[in-house]
Amino acid sequence: MSRAEVSPRATSEASSAGAGRTTWTAAVTRWVDGLVPKGQWLPDRQPVYVASWIYVFGVACLSSLVVIIVSGLVLTLGGVTWWHTSSFGHFVNSVHLWSVELFFATMVIHMWGKFFMASWRGNRGMTWATGALAFFGSLGTAFTGYLIQTNFDSQWISTQAKDGLNAAGIGAYFNVMNLGQMVLWHVSLLPLVVGGIVTVHVVLVRRRGVAPPIDATDPTADAGEKVAT
């Protein structure tokens, strides 16, 4: 008996790939399958020019984001003042802070590398744009993180930012001196926004392939055009 005959995965693939099925789940499956070229969700081989340290910073940034999310989830157990009264809370808070420092450092170096490589070439304009959006969304998320430290630093930052935001004409839409509002923005609203943008960015990278150096041949030049939308 072959493995395909008994594999639930094989049965599932056979049924979901059935042409003409009109259920919404089948439509979603086809859409997800067509987002990136076959085998590119988690590829184990890359073009030879990817063997360079400058190509490391994107995934380093993504790894930092994972540490940020995990340490942030632990911090939610103790709340925003936990780190003032607990050595473990202080440790987790420091892990959260330093993973954010690494996140921004690697993100900016990633951005320098992609800028000087003109990585928007090869129909990768949206990849570049979503990366820029992720950067600006992360700035807002980090800013609200500084606002919820519950110390004099956060008081200083919030009162200064309040004046700046009012001068920019957007201070009426939210209140940076409202701790409860800023906590929810930091742990719920903005992480969802940044997480969504980063997800789209990563899917686009998988869809178009990593950008080649300017003097290199792009083996995936036409791959993006062949992908169903």
Partner 1 sequence: MITQLLAVSQPVPAGPVVQWGWLTITVANLVVILAMVVVFVLALVLPFPSDREDEDR
Binding-site ranges for partner 1 (CB under 8 A):
45, 48, 51-54, 56-57, 84-85, 101, 105, 108-109, 112-113, 151-153
Q: From the CB of 142, what's the least distance to partner 1, in Å?
A: 14
Q: From the CB of 5, what's the least distance to partner 1, in Å?
A: 34
Is the distance from CB of 82 to CB of 89 less than 8 angstroms?
Answer: yes
DSSP 53: G
Pull the structure tokens for residue 205.
């990278």
Q: List the alpha helices (DSSP H) in 36-86.
A: 57-78, 82-85
Is the distance from CB of 102 to CB of 64 less than 8 angstroms?
Answer: yes
- The count of residues in the chain is 229
Q: Which of these, 158, 65, 46, 53, lies nearest to 103 by C-alpha position? A: 65
Beta carbon nearer to partner 1, 89 or 122:
89
3-class secondary-structure state, position 130: helix
Q: From the CB of 61, what's the least distance to partner 1, in Å?
A: 13
Beta carbon nearer to partner 1, 19 or 42:
42
Tally of CB atoms within 10 A around 52 = 10
Beta carbon nearer to partner 1, 21 or 84:
84
Q: From the CB of 215, what's the least distance to partner 1, in Å?
A: 14
Q: From the CB of 192, what's the least distance to partner 1, in Å?
A: 28
Q: List the alpha helices (DSSP H) in the chain.
A: 3-6, 8-16, 24-35, 57-78, 82-85, 87-116, 125-147, 152-167, 179-184, 190-208, 223-226
Is the distance from CB of 101 to CB of 77 less than 8 angstroms?
Answer: no
Is the distance from CB of 227 to CB of 41 less than 8 angstroms?
Answer: no
Beta carbon nearer to partner 1, 54 or 184:
54
Q: From the CB of 106, what's the least distance to partner 1, in Å?
A: 9
Beta carbon nearer to partner 1, 11 or 151:
151
Beta carbon nearer to partner 1, 101 or 163:
101
